[in-house]
A and B are shown apart, each in its own frame.
Chain A
Amino acid sequence: MKTTYREAVRAALREALQSDPRVFLMGEDVGRYGGAYACSKGLLEEFGPERVRDTPLSESTFVGAGIGAAIGGMRPIVEVMTVNFSLLALDQIVNNAATLRHMSGGQLSIPLVVRMATGGGRQLAAQHSHSLEGWYAHVPGIKVLTPATLEDARGMLPTALRDPDPVFIFEHALLYPMEGELDENIGPVDISHAVVRRAGRDVSLITFGGCLGKVLEAAETLAAQGINAEVIDVRVLRPLDTAAILTSIAKTHRAVIVDEAWRTGSFAAEISARIMERAFYELDAPVARVCSAEVPMPYPKHLEDAALPQVDTIAHTVLEMLKPHG
C-alpha cells in the first residue's frame, strides 16, 4: 500500500489507542489542531478528549505528568512538538524518567513513550532545527530510537509501548511527507538492532534518522563510480548495536559516519570511538565523519544547505578516503 511516513506514524498511534485502553496521547496541539505535523489528525474525533489530550505549553509538566501516569498504570504517548522544546522538559527526562527506576531500587517502571520531531532543512532557523537525539542517547535509563523508514515509523511505536522503560522516538521533520510502499500487515519491529540498508564491500556508511536517504543516494552516486558502499542504519542510538557496526567494518575496513548533529560531542563521535576501541586493526583508513557545521542553524537556504550533511559532501568524503595515498 502506498503511504507516507506521517500516515505510518498516525496508523501506529491509531492502532495503539484502539488496542490498549491504557494508551493515551498528550501534547501541544495533538487534539483540535491535529498535531503540529498532522500525525494525530482525526484521532481526537475518533477517541475523544480524554485519550487525545491537548496540553498547555508546559513541556516540563506534561512530560512529568506522563512519567507519573506511566508509574500509575497507564501507557502514555507524549508528543513534544520539536526537540528544541524538549529542553524545557530536560529535568523531567534526565532527572526523573531516566533515574527513578534505579534510585527506587527497581520498585518503579516507567513505560512512557515520548515522540518528537528533530532535525533541520526547512529554513526554520536555530530554535527549530537542531538534532539533539545524541544528547539523549548519552543518558542511561532511557532508550533512543530514530525511525528512518516507513516500516520503522509504523512499527517502532507498538514495540516501544510494550517496553517497560521510557522510550524516546525522534522523527526527522523532513521525513513526514516521504512516500513509499508499506506492507499493510506490517507489525511491530525490533528496537534493538541496526540494519544493513545496502550491502557493500568498500566502505561502511553509518548513519541514522534523517540522513539515511542522503546516504543511500550518495551510495548510488559512488556505485556509478565503481565504489560499492555498505549502508548501516543504526536505528537505535541507545542501547547501541555495536556488533552490527563491527561486523560491517570487518568486511569493508573503512567507515564514514554521517550524523546531522554538530561534530563536537556528536553521536558520530561515540560510534567513531567504539570503532577505534574495538576494530582499530581492521581499519585501512582513519574513521571519517560528516556532521553539521559548528553553527546555530542559519535561516537562509544556501547557508542551511552548507551547514547540513549533503549527498555530495558524503560522496566526496568517501572518495577522499579511497584515494590512493603516497
Chain B
Amino acid sequence: MASGELPATRGHALLLLREMLRIRRFEEKTVELYSLGKIRGFLHLYIGEEAVAVGAMQALTPDDSIVATYREHGQALARGVPAGALMAELFGKANGCSRGRGGSMHVFDVSRRFYGGYAIVGGGLPVALGLALADKLQGHSRITACFFGDGAVAEGEFHESLNLAALWKLPVLFLCENNLYAMGTALIRHQSQTDIWRKAEAYAIPADAVDGMDVVAVEAAARRAAETVRRGNGPYLLEARTYRFRAHSMYDPELYRTKEEVERWKQRDPLVTFPAALRARRVLSEAELAAMEGAVATEVDAAVRFAEDGPWEPVEDLTKDVYTGA
C-alpha cells in the first residue's frame, strides 16, 4: 500500500482515526492537568507522532511483547492500556497501571505484554532482546516490538543490541521514532549518518524508512517488517520519520528550533491530513467526526475522574515491591 492510500475497509480507517484521536485528546488534557499541578514530574508529549504508534500497533498481536520509551503514552493507549489506568499513573495514584510508582515515564501493563516505560535512552533495547531470547528458547512464536527515538541510536546499547539480535536471529522489531530531535539536539547535530535505517546494514539487518506522518503507510510498513521477523530470520529495523509538535517536555523553552519549522510540519499533522483524506473520499462525514470527538472526550473525562477518585498508596507501603514478597 503506497503512501496516500486508504485502508481496505471503512471500519479500519475509522479505527485508525479514533486511536490517533484518543492519544491527541488524552495528551491535550494532560497539559491542562499539568498546569493545574495534578500531574507532576516530567511529561513528554507524543502530540504529532500518533500515526507511528497507531500504525505500528496494527501489525502486532495481543501475544506480542512491547518495550517502549519515556514518551510512551501513545504506545500505551494504542496497545489498549486503559486511559483511566494511564491517567491515574500520571497522577501517581495507586489505581495507576504501575500503582503510581512509575509515573509518565514508566508505564507498565504486563497483562497486555506492555513491558515499560524506559527513561534511560536506549535502556529498553537490551531488555527487548532478552524477552525475544526467552521466547525463542521456549519455542514461542511471538515477536517483541521495541520502540526508541533517534537519540537512542547514538547510544552504545543500540549498536550492541542490533549486533546481538542479528547474531542470535532474535525476533525483535526495532521501531525507531525519528522525530528529528534528541531532546533539543537536531539529528544533523548528533548523527554522522542521518538515514537511521541505513545503520542496520552494518549489522546485516533488513531495514526500511517510512513516512511517520502517514498512518496507513506506517501500518503497511510495520506489517511487512513484522512478517519478516515472524518468519524467524531475525530482527528488522523500521525508521518512522515523524515530528513532535510540542517541546521535549513541559520544562523545555524550545530554543533550538524555529516556530516556522514547527508550523511547516503541522501542515502534515496526521490528525488533519487523515480526516481530510477520509472526507474527500466520502468515507467520513462531519457528523461522524463530531460523534467520534464526543466519544473520545467522554473517555478522557472518565479517565480523569478515575484518576481523581483513585486512592494514594499508603505511606506504610513505601518499601513494598523492592523485593518480591516484601
Q: Which residues of A contact B (CB under 8 A)?
A: 24, 50, 53, 55-56, 58, 60-74, 76, 91-92, 95-96, 100-109, 140-141, 143, 164-165
Contacts and interface: CB of A to CB of B under 8 A. Distances in A.
A67 B156 contact: no
A105 B125 contact: no
Interface string B154-196: 0011001101100110000000000000000000000000000
B101 A61 contact: no
26 contacts: A55-B164, A56-B163, A61-B129, A64-B126, A64-B127, A64-B129, A64-B161, A68-B128, A68-B134, A69-B130, A69-B134, A71-B115, A72-B65, A72-B134, A72-B138, A73-B138, A91-B120, A91-B123, A101-B324, A102-B101, A103-B102, A103-B116, A105-B97, A105-B102, A105-B321, A106-B321
A105 B98 contact: yes
B133 interface: yes
B130 A68 contact: yes
Interface residues of B, number: 45
B322 interface: yes
B108 interface: yes
Contact of A70 (B128, B130, B160): B130
Given A72-B135, A95-B120, A64 B157 contact: yes
Q: Nearest 6 pairs between A and B by C-beta?
A: A68-B130, A64-B126, A72-B134, A105-B99, A61-B160, A104-B108
| B96, B157, B164, B323 — most chain A CB neighbours (10 Å) | B323
B126 A103 contact: no
Contacts of B161: 61, 64
A24 B137 contact: yes
A73 B325 CA distance: 18
Interface of B: 65, 96-102, 106, 108-110, 115-118, 120, 123, 125-135, 137-138, 156-157, 160-161, 163-164, 167-168, 320-325
A166 B18 CA distance: 41
A85 to B, nearest CB: 13
B126 A67 contact: yes
A143 B51 CA distance: 42
Given A55-B164, A101-B321, A103-B116, A72 B131 contact: yes
Given A58-B160, A165-B324, 14 more contacts: A50-B137, A56-B160, A61-B157, A61-B160, A63-B126, A64-B127, A64-B161, A65-B129, A67-B130, A72-B65, A72-B134, A72-B138, A103-B116, A105-B99
A102 B133 contact: no
Nearest to A72: B134
Nearest to B127: A68
Contacts of A91: 120, 123, 157
Contacts of B96: 105
Contacts of B117: 103-104
